[in-house]
Chain A
Amino acid sequence: MNVRVIGCSHRGTPIALRERLAFGRGETAEALDHWRRVFRNVEAVLLSTCNRVEVYAAGPAEIPAAEQVAGFLARFHKLVAAELLPHLYVHDGPTAVRHLFTVAASLDSMVLGEPQILAQVKQAYQAATERDATGPLLHAAFQAAIRVARRVATETAIHQRRVSVPSVAVADFARGVFERFDDKQTLVIGAGEMAEETLRYLRDEGARRVTVVNRHLERAVALAAAWQGAARPWEELLEALAAADLVIGTTAAGKPVVTLEDFRRVEASRQQRPLVILDLAVPRDFEPAVGGRPDVYLYSVDDLQAACRRNQAERDKELPAARAIIDQETGRFMADLYRRATGPVIQQLKDGWQKPKEQEIERLLARLPGLDERARNEIRLSFDRLLGKLLHPPLESLRDESRNGIPHGLLDALSRLFRLKD
């Protein structure tokens, strides 16, 4: 029983190569079909994300070496295998299992604790299962990985702190002011990429009413259409500001587009409603003095990035606890795996002794016809106990030996001693 992972990740492999090795959804299915044709009886899961491409292989006998997998990947992507090989890492047995658990729990991600990787691991496992590329070993390994990732998420705070600017802006700052977003008016000033990403988080939180104001109305209309919102011309910026509860500033203007004086003009009509301003523009869209007004909560990119860094540091603190869980679970999984490897021999041993036992009981009972049912049962129980005692030492030895690996020598000896079939 072997498990091996061969792959490359953001740790040490340039993005240019990772891009060339990446598998799209359709390509994954095709590659897995191809794998099954090339490496018969070898289970495989192909994990391809923007940060890593990994092949998890497992089987009862020999599994492909790194060179063979590199050749497979190179042929599929029409690359040169020798180019790939120096960038690939290979982990076997417990190290491979620990690596899978570490990846699934997001401890090996570029952004520690990012939640998407678990979904990607699940998708990879599902895709391999759909193509019939998985077997008992990888089923067990991936199901354990998903469970371990959940355990890490529950027992540590590694996922609790957000670390991207838009997610921090929404979850840590805007959520501190507003309980719900479905009845709030969101104003987007500019049509930058950051605005869209922030809107995505806001939409997840329930935001529905979006207004976009941009110097070029057509871009505002396009962004508003994408988010089922409304577009307004640049001249109506202050009116839109008066109606807004949450503002996202993302223009590329060289100077503030809303000064303190501008804000004072609309302040009265706001009737002291709280206003959250996420100023994601550099240079800033809002004069910092606007943040000094009562009921205005103004955050610049610097504020948000500082919060992200603090959150990242908080996540890092959770790393030792998460690693301890991974180590514990890896040990447990491997012990299970080794025990499972001894299963067929144990079963054969038990079955091999069972038949003579039954024959002896039958013979004895035939010779003692005068026995009542109670005495017969006592005899049967006695034989069962005897068999259990006879089998106990070899089974204990197997169990002890299988703690640190598959006890090939002992299994072989038992098979030969008791003439067990393979």
Chain B
Amino acid sequence: MLASVHIVCFATSYAVALVLEISRLVFRSGVRGAVMLGFAGTGWILHTAFLYYRASSLLSSSQDWYLLAAWVLVLVYLYLTWFHPQQHFGVFLLPLVLGLVATARWFTDPQPLAREPISKVWGGVHAVSILLATVSVLVGFAAGVMYLSQVRRLKGRRTLLAPLRLPSLEWLERASGRAIVVSLLMTGVGVLSGVMLNVINYRRHDPVLPWNDPFVLATLGMFAWLLGATVLAACYRPARRGRKVAYLTLASFVFLAIALGMGLFMRTQHGRPRTAAGAAGAAPLDGQNLPPAAGGRGSPGGGP
């Protein structure tokens, strides 16, 4: 039965959990917390089953990649809601989850898009690191938005008027800061492993991914941004504080959105079989077949 799970099944569970989260802002209920966690947990189990039955080809398509990112994000949500039941994390995290699932459903192709990576190890490292970088940017973004909301509430002396319950600024600042560092590390690993894949291709005289590929440029832009922001924060104390960290997370999210958008809607060769012409004059840079790439409307050979 679990083999026949469809994306709509777990997406609906997450949507119901989100509606229940939002209803917490309107009225009190003794059983809602358990029901909400029940829906999110059931959705996550169905989600796991969906991914499990695709395990043989997991991460071979951009749809898998988006769904796996959503799966990790739901895990983060479940963890936070279990240990901090009073806080309304779901209001900020579940829309991101649904966004990833919706993107997977409507803007990606479930078919494997590229040939097997030349190195399974580097291919795996590349895919997982970019995936974790994406999740940490999303978590950081949620923490940053929560921080700014909390600032607004506290400045407006509305801590008690508004039913929205958020963690303290100190907690959110720490979470945002850590999310930036993790996303920098993961993006760095993703870029390096991509370079390694390209080097291997280059040595074998296989087509390589051009350095000026839009997805590669956007990813490098995000990496440069995260690196710059982290160096600045390390050297200049106030940059590690409060609103600045929150704004850094928002900017990181914009870079991520651009990178993902490039992968979905621009002509990119990232994650697609490459022709020799496409590789002409290209410097060895990014990896082969994996993350968000291709399948999008604008990509060669990709369909909606």
Contact = CB atoms under 8 A, between A and B. Distances in A.
Interface stretch (A177-185, A196-204, A397-405): A177-185
Contact of B168 (A179, A273, A294): A179
B160 A274 contact: no
A271 B154 CA distance: 20
Given A177-B170, A271-B237, A294-B243, A172 B157 contact: no
B155 A297 contact: yes
Interface stretch (A105-113, A116-124, A214-222, A303-311): A303-311
Contact of A176 (B28, B161, B168): B168
A177 to B, nearest CB: 5
A297 B153 CA distance: 10
B169 interface: yes
Contacts of A274: 169-170, 241-242
A89 to B, nearest CB: 34
**Chain B interface, >50% SS class:** helix
A177 B169 contact: yes
B42 interface: no
Nearest to A168: B160
Contacts of B28: 157
A392 interface: no
Given A180-B170, A271-B237, A297-B154, A173 B242 contact: no
Contact of B160 (A157, A161, A177, A294): A161
B168 A177 contact: yes
Interface in B140-157: 150, 153-155, 157
B30 interface: yes
Interface string B231-244: 00000011001111
B160 A303 contact: no
Contact of B159 (A155, A178, A179, A307): A307
A155 B157 contact: no
Given A179-B171, A310-B161, A173 B154 contact: yes
A175 B242 contact: no
Contacts of B157: 299, 303, 306-307
A176 B169 contact: yes
B154 A178 contact: no
B273 interface: no
B167 interface: yes
B238 A271 contact: yes
* Most chain A CB neighbours (cut-off 10 Å) among B157, B167, B169: B157
B186 to A, nearest CB: 26
Interface string B158-189: 01110000111111001000000000000000
Contacts of A271: 237-238, 241
A157 B30 CA distance: 10
A410 B171 CA distance: 67
Given A155-B30, A157-B28, A180-B170, A172 B237 contact: no
A161 B30 CA distance: 17
B271 to A, nearest CB: 41
A153 to B, nearest CB: 13
A295 B242 contact: yes
Nearest to B172: A179
Contacts of A175: 168
Given A177-B168, A179-B167, A172 B242 contact: no
A173 B168 contact: no
Contact of B241 (A180, A273, A297, A307): A273
A177 B154 CA distance: 8
A312 to B, nearest CB: 11
Contact of B154 (A157, A176, A179): A176
Contacts of A311: 160
A307 B171 contact: no
A359 interface: no
B168 A178 contact: yes
Contacts of B160: 161, 168, 172, 307, 310-311, 314
Interface in A69-122: none
A272 interface: yes
Interface in A124-159: 155, 157
A175 B169 CA distance: 9
Nearest to A295: B242
B241 A272 contact: yes
Nearest to B165: A176
A177 B243 CA distance: 12
Interface string B10-50: 00000000000000000010100000000000000000000
A272 B151 CA distance: 14
Nearest to A270: B238
Nearest to A174: B168
Interface string A320-350: 0000000000000000000000000000000
Contacts of B174: 179
B236 to A, nearest CB: 9
Contacts of A307: 157, 159-160
B238 A176 contact: no
Contacts of B159: 172-173, 176, 307
Nearest to A180: B170
Nearest to B174: A179
A295 B28 CA distance: 32
A105 to B, nearest CB: 17
B147 to A, nearest CB: 11
Contacts of B154: 173, 176-177, 297
Nearest to A307: B160
B161 A178 contact: no
A334 B132 CA distance: 61
27 contacts: A155-B30, A157-B28, A161-B160, A172-B160, A176-B150, A176-B166, A176-B168, A176-B169, A177-B168, A177-B170, A178-B168, A178-B169, A179-B167, A179-B170, A179-B171, A180-B170, A271-B237, A272-B242, A272-B244, A273-B241, A274-B169, A274-B242, A291-B155, A297-B154, A297-B155, A303-B157, A307-B157
Given A294-B243, A299-B157, 7 more contacts: A176-B169, A177-B168, A179-B171, A272-B242, A295-B241, A307-B157, A311-B160
Interface of B: 28, 30, 150, 153-155, 157, 159-161, 166-171, 174, 237-238, 241-244
Closest 10 interchain pairs by CB?
Answer: A179-B170, A272-B238, A179-B168, A272-B241, A179-B171, A303-B157, A307-B160, A177-B169, A271-B238, A310-B160
